């Protein structure tokens, strides 16, 4: 899971990734599906960052999923399973935590859940939580003052579920989930900013790095998420179970970004306007509104030697996305008119996009016990997708080469079949071998028009003429073994996989255009192996170890030919290049030791995680790590410079995290002292760039060493 900022995370499973989804790419679909219980909540980059208090378990299905439930996913599925209302049981859990970030602010949380029976046939479960996040990023201002802990904020929410079960055959569970995330800034470290760098001789020199960034304005993010669903089940005569899941969600995400680096690179760098213009505040407002309705109807049952299920799924989603860059005072100071069709005066970029998305599917799967040792499973999903989009791009940064607003509406659709086959052989009561082949699918989409007024002639040739991208398909081949060991005190699982990907949807930065384009890479693949081992050799000690290796590579090369006949590789998309965002090697280990006394039980838990090196986007592997500061000559902002280049890491280095927790269990109370990120590792999570690398170079980073105390009481 790649942390890309407040409420923004991106999941990759088994090395299958086409690159970081940027904030202004609402048409890109996710490769992995995310569920809260039975409801789909994944939404490309903006999958909700839900609080997992009162969670029962996490389920991860590696490889394509579409024959068992839900909307289907290409590379795998993650399901967060919450605790459900319980009949005839009263229980309450409360938690209070306080923490201090070693080089940042303070935070903490208050969380509460209660299960209340209502008669013998009904119950309700209520969960509420509030978490305060301390900041740890400092923002240097134009006057060289420094604002501390600018990425602080909070998350608050509640879940309310009601169970009514009048008989053993019938139950119904309506539920409402609401959450709001409100953050004041980003977990970004700036290495270079065109408005704030240490090499200038004609502007105030700004020292960056060391968990610092340069901003002129605040960068708040608000994310409100409302989900209501209804789960009903009925046991049919004969024993089959009929299940219906109806879901409706409403999502509002508002991101205000400081676009000063981008704007000044154009107004000061490309155009050459004076400092009084290019230093104007440039708030870029990204607004996402998404409404989703889905219905799933599923029936399952069993017969001698046979288990089966079948179902249908339908989802209808409407998503509106808009960007507004209002640079107040620009027209008055520059004399350049900016008002147009939808862009007001001083509106340098104004866009409005509306998406309509629909999916219908039929799915089913059956497992037949051919012998006492051999099980054969076959599944099939038929899908039908339709998506349409209307859009308009306006403002002097978004107009076409004719000086008029751009509109590139369109639609895409697809239908097909995705099969799944599994053979499992029972070596003993504690050991099983299996082999699987399955197909995954991801719908294509429509590219945004280029900001042609900003493009060089060569970039127009390279990145123009790509109105959309094609569907992506994946065939996953897998063999493995699942084993119980030491009289069921532990488990050992191992698997090897090979994923053959066609038309990988790779996100690239369109050169000088300040645009992003999705290209299809005809061939790619991910191959690797993974293992899991957990064991409780005694009642006082348990541990688990997981590790994986994936070799994810592009297998095709894309080229572009300029007017002189020169052929170049497009954005590093070449055969043999690594797939972005995913490490080749990952490992984790956790261990807990408990020691009972006459009055309490003490415990010590340690968790270790290793994440290997990664690249953020396709093509980053071929970056030199050296960026020229004079690409806007003769309008080099702050020039002449004391040095004309800046260096950076295009490869995100491997990192290691260690968390420790020591506590006491006494009666109903669990009190613990914890230290997260014990070694104060500063991990680089993703390369953050603006206008290629010419306007800003930075990294998203993790939270520093954090100390805290937590108390939980159950009654």
**Regarding predicted confidence, which is higher, 1 or 537?**
537
Residue 274 to residues 46, 270, 279, 628, 639, Cα–Cα distance (Å): 38, 12, 9, 22, 13
Lowest mean pLDDT: which of 152-156, 351-355, 401-405? 401-405
Q: Average of pLDDT values for 343-361?
A: 94
d(CA 689, CA 349): 19
pLDDT in tens, 168-189: 999 999 999 999 999 999 999 9
Parallel, antiparallel or unpaired: strands 138-140 and 212-214: parallel
Query: How many domains is the chain partitioned into structurally?
Result: 1
| Spatial distance between the Cα atoms of 64 and 381, rounded to a whole number of angstroms | 11
Q: What is the mean pLDDT of residues 412-423?
A: 96
Position 24 pLDDT exceeds 80: no
* pLDDT tens string 111-160: 999 999 999 999 999 999 999 999 999 999 999 999 999 999 999 999 99
Tokens 């995100």 sit at which residue? 652
Residue-wise pLDDT for 290-317, tens only, equals 999 999 999 999 999 999 999 999 999 9
What pLDDT band is residue 242 in, cutting at 50, 70 and 90?
very high
Query: pLDDT averaged over the chain?
Result: 93
Q: Does residue 27 have a pLDDT over 90?
A: no
Looking up residue 710, the CATH number of its domain turns out to be 2.40.170.20
pLDDT for 209 beyond 90 = no
Mean pLDDT for 507-513 is 82
Q: What share of the chain is helix, strand, coil (3-state, %, to 5)?
A: 5, 60, 35
| CA distance linking residue 285 with residue 349, whole number of Å | 10
The whole-number pLDDT of residue 23 equals 66
Bond into 685 cis (ω within 30): no
**Rounded-to-integer distance, Cα 23 and Cα 463, Å:** 19
Where does the pLDDT of residue 333 fall: very low under 50, low under 70, confident under 90, or very high at 90 and above?
very high
Q: What was the pLDDT predicted at 451?
A: 81
Q: Which of 391-400, 518-527, 545-554 has the lowest average pLDDT?
A: 391-400
Specify the pairing of strand 55-62 against strand 490-509: unpaired
Look at residue 599 in the predicted model and tell me its pLDDT.
93
Residue-wise pLDDT tens digits, 573-611? 999 999 998 999 999 999 999 999 999 999 999 999 999
Q: Residue 248 has which token pair? A: 């409706």
The pLDDT > 90 percentage for the chain reads 84
Per-residue pLDDT, 704: 97
Q: What is the mean pLDDT of residues 243-269?
A: 95
Q: Which domain holds residue 331?
A: 2-714
Confidence band for 45, pLDDT divided at 50, 70 and 90: low
pTM of the model: 0.93
As given in the structure block, the two tokens for residue 182 are 């409100």
Looking at residues 422-446, what average pLDDT do you find? 96
Q: How far apart are CA 190 and CA 698, in angstroms?
A: 4
């Amino acid at each position: 899971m790649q942390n890309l900022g407040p409420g923004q995370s991106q999941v990759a499973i088994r090395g299958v990734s086409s690159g970081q989804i940027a904030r202004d790419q609402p048409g890109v679909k996710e490769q992995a599906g995310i569920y809260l219980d039975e409801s789909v909540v994944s939404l490309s980059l903006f999958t909700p960052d839900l609080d997992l208090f009162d969670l029962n378990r996490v389920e991860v299905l590696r490889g394509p999923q579409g024959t068992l439930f839900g909307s289907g996913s290409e590379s795998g599925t993650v399901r967060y399973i919450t605790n459900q209302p319980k009949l005839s049981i009263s229980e309450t859990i409360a938690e209070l935590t306080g923490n201090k970030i070693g080089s940042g602010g303070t935070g903490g949380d208050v969380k509460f859940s209660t299960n209340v029976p209502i008669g013998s046939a009904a119950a309700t479960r209520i969960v509420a939580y509030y978490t305060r996040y301390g900041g740890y990023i400092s923002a240097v201002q134009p006057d060289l003052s420094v604002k501390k802990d600018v990425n602080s904020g909070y998350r608050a929410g509640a879940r309310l579920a009601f169970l009514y079960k009048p008989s053993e055959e019938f139950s119904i569970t309506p539920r409402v989930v609401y959450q709001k995330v409100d953050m004041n800034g980003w977990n970004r470290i700036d290495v270079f900013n065109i408005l704030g760098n240490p090499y200038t001789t004609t502007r105030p020199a700004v020292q960056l790095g060391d968990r610092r960034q340069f901003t002129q304005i605040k960068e708040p993010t608000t994310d409100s998420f409302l989900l209501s669903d209804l789960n009903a089940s009925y046991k049919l005569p004969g024993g089959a179970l009929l299940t219906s899941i109806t879901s409706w969600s409403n999502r509002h995400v508002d991101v205000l970004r400081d676009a000063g680096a981008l704007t000044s690179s154009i107004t000061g760098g490309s155009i050459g306007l004076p400092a009084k213009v290019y230093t104007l505040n440039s708030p870029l407002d990204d607004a996402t509104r998404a409404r989703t309705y889905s219905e799933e109807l599923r029936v399952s049952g069993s017969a001698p030697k046979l288990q089966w299920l079948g179902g249908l799924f339908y989802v209808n989603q409407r998503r509106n996305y808009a960007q507004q860059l209002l640079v107040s005072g620009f027209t008055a100071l520059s004399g350049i008119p900016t008002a147009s069709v939808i862009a007001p005066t001083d509106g340098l970029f104004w866009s409005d996009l509306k998406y309509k998305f629909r999916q219908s599917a039929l799915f089913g799967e059956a497992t037949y016990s051919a012998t006492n040792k051999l099980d054969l499973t076959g599944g099939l999903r038929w899908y039908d997708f339709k998506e349409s989009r209307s859009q308009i791009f306006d403002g002097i940064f978004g107009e076409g080469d004719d000086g008029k607003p751009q509109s590139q509406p369109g639609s895409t659709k697809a239908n097909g079949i995705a099969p799944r086959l599994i053979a499992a052989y029972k070596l003993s009561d504690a050991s099983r071998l299996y082999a699987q082949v399955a197909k995954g699918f991801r719908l294509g989409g429509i590219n945004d028009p280029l900001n042609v007024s900003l493009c060089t002639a060569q970039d127009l040739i390279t990145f123009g003429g790509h109105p959309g991208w094609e569907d992506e398909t994946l065939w996953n081949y897998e063999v493995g073994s699942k084993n119980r060991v030491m009289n069921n005190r532990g488990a050992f699982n191992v698997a090897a996989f090979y994923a053959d990907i066609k038309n990988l949807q790779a996100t690239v930065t369109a050169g000088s255009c300040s645009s992003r384009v999705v290209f299809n890479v005809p061939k790619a693949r991910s191959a690797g192996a993974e293992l899991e081992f957990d064991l409780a050799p005694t009642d006082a000690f348990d541990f688990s170890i997981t590790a994986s290796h994936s070799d994810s590579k592009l297998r095709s090369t894309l080229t572009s030919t300029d007017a002189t006949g020169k052929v170049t590789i497009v954005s590093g998309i070449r055969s043999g290049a690594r797939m972005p965002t995913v490490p080749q090697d990952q490992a984790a280990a956790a261990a807990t030791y408990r020691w009972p006394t006459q009055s309490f039980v003490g415990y010590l838990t340690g968790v270790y995680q290793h994440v290997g090196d990664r690249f953020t986007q396709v093509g980053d592997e071929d970056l030199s790590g050296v960026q020229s500061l004079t690409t806007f000559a003769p309008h080099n902002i702050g020039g002449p410079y004391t040095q004309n280049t800046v260096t950076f890491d295009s490869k995100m280095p491997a990192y290691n995290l260690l968390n420790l927790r020591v506590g006491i269990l006494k009666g109903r109370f669990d009190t613990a002292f914890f230290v997260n990120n014990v070694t104060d590792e500063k991990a680089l999570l993703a390369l953050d760039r603006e206008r290629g690398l010419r306007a800003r170079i930075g990294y998203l980073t993790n939270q520093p060493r954090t100390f805290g105390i937590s108390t939980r009481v159950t009654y």
